[in-house]
Amino acid sequence: MQNELSQHDYLALDKQLLWHPYTSMSHPSPQFLVDSAQGCEITLSNGKTLIDGMSSWWSVIHGYNHPVMNQAIQTQLSQFSHVMFGGLTHKPAIHLAKQLIDMTPEPLQRVFFSDSGSVSVEVALKMAIQYWHTQGKADKQFFVTPRSGYHGDTFAAMSVCDPENGMHNLFTGALTQQHFISPPPTGVNSPVDPEYLAEIRHVLTENHHKIAGFIIEPVVQNAGGMRFYNPDYLNHIRSLCDEFDILLIFDEIATGFGRTGKLFATEHSNICPDIMCVGKALTGGYMTLAATLTNDKVALGISENGGVFMHGPTFMANPLACAAANASLSLLDSTDITETVAQLEDWLNQALSPCLSLDPVKDVRCLGAIGVVELHEPINLNDIQPKFVELGVWIRPFGRLIYLMPPYVISQQDVQKLGQAIHTILSQ
C-alpha cells in the first residue's frame, strides 16, 4: 500500500480513520505526515524539515535515530522481544532496575515497571492505599495534591489532576473526590509563603486519618501550566507528611532525567519521596516504558504483612523497552548532564527573552531545558500550528503557553531558530 498511495491519500485516510489525542474527529487539528527523523530534525513526506522543539512530548532527549539506541534495540531484538514478567525475568530489566536505583535518592530501593507514565501514577496510588491497608489503616484511601497539577489521563491519575482548570473536568462525577490545595506560589527564587504552608497544614490536620498520600510534580507543574516554584516547598511538604503519617509521592515523569537542570527535580531539594514515578525520557523516547520506585518501608510494609501487589501489565518490563532505557541512561551517564542542560537553559533564555517586548506576551521563563512563553490569551492551535511548520519548526502550544522542551543534543543555532519562529508568529 505504501507505494500505491500519495501523501494526500495518506492524510485523507488519517483524517477518515484515526482519532488523534486532544482533537476532534469532526473538526480535527491539522496533521503532518512524517517520513523520517534524524538528530533534532523531523522530515515530512513533502520534504520539509522541521527543527524539533518538543522532544516528542519531552521524551526524545538524545535526538532521533541515535546509533547507540538503535544498536541496543537491534541487539535485544535478535535475542527476544518480549516475555511475560510473571514468573520470568531477564537481564535488561535487572540491569535497568540497578541503574535506576543507583541514580535516584538512596531510600528508593525497589522498582515496579509499567507501560506508561499515567499507569506508573496508578501504580503509585495503589501502592500507597495498599500500604496503609496492611498497616491496619484501611480508611486512608484518598490523596492531597495541588491544583494546576497533571498526572495522566487514566482514571485514578485523572482524579489527582486539576479538577476545574485541567482537561478532565467533564469526568468529575465519575472520579474519586480527592483533596486539593492551592498551587505552589510561582518563582523558583521567591521566598516560601507561610500562608501556603498553613493551608497544607489545615487540610492535613482535618483529613490525615483518610489521606494515603500527597502527590506533586517537584519544582515544575508541567501540563497544568508550566509553573515553576521554589524547591524549598518540597522540604516543608516532606516534614508535614512525616508529621501527619502520609506518604509523599513525586511525579517525575516530565521532570526526570535532566529536564530541570538536575538529574531528577527532587535533587533541587533536600528530601526524598516515599514513591517516585518516572517515564517519558526513560527510554530516550524510543519505546513506551515507565517505573514506580519506592522504599523498603512501602515495599516490605505491603509484602511482609501477607500482601502481594495486585498489578501486572502484559508488557511490564518489556525487554526491548528496557534495552532502550539502559542505553539511554548510559548515554546520560557519559555526559555532564548538569552542564549540558545549564548551557541549554542559557540558550533558551537568549532565544525567548525578545518575546517579552511583544504585546501578546505575559511572561517568559526558563528552567533547565524548559522554555516558556506565556500569553495573555489562549492560542488557536489549528491556526498557529501550520504557521510554525511553514517556518520550519515543530512547536505544539497549548492553552496560553508556547513552550520549548528540545532534545539535549540541539545546537544553539537551532534553539535560536525556534525562538525566532515564536517571535515572528507573535509579532504578526
Residues 391 and 423: their CA atoms lie apart, in Å, by 11
Q: Indicate if 150 belongs to the active site.
A: yes
Residues 286 and 63: their CA atoms lie apart, in Å, by 10
Number of Cβ atoms within 10 Å of the Cβ of 167: 16
314 is in an annotated binding site: yes
280 is in an annotated binding site: yes
The active-site residue, picked from 126, 140, 262, 280, is 280
**H/E run at residue 326:** helix 319-333
Residues 160 and 178: their CA atoms lie apart, in Å, by 7
Q: Indicate if 64 belongs to the active site.
A: no
The active-site residue, picked from 52, 126, 131, 150, is 150
396 is in an annotated binding site: yes
153 is in an annotated binding site: no
Smallest CA-to-CA distance from 140 within 57, 297, 52, 245 is with: 245
Are 244 and 216 in contact, with CB atoms under 8 Å apart? no
* 355: helix, strand or coil: helix
The number of C-alpha atoms within 13 Å of 391 and in the hemisphere containing its C-beta is 21
118 is in an annotated binding site: yes
110 is in an annotated binding site: no
The active-site residue, picked from 52, 115, 162, 251, is 251
Q: Which residues pair with 187 in a beta bridge?
A: 229
The active-site residue, picked from 9, 14, 15, 22, is 22
Are 7 and 33 in contact, with CB atoms under 8 Å apart? yes
| Alpha-carbon 162 to chain mean position | 16
Q: At what angle do helices 194-207 and 232-243 cross, to 10 degrees?
A: 20
Residues 36 and 30: their CA atoms lie apart, in Å, by 19
Q: How far is CA 45 from CA 5, 6, 15, 41, 285, in A?
A: 12, 9, 16, 13, 21
| Full 3-state SS string of 265-284 | HHHHCCCCCCEEEECHHHHC
Q: Indicate if 251 belongs to the active site.
A: yes
150 is in an annotated binding site: yes
Cell matching residue 372: 516558556
> What is the DSSP code string of 379-415?
--HHHHHHHHHHTTEE---BTTEEEE---TT--HHHH
Residues 263 and 127: their CA atoms lie apart, in Å, by 24
Residues 393 and 204: their CA atoms lie apart, in Å, by 46
313 is in an annotated binding site: yes
Q: Indicate if 22 belongs to the active site.
A: yes
Residues 150 and 58: their CA atoms lie apart, in Å, by 15
Which amino acids are annotated as binding site, given as ranges? 57, 117-118, 150, 251, 280, 312-314, 396
Which amino acids are annotated as binding site for pyridoxal 5'-phosphate, given as ranges? 117-118, 251, 313-314
Which amino acids are annotated as binding site for substrate, given as ranges? 57, 150, 280, 312, 396
Catalytic residues: 22, 150, 251, 280
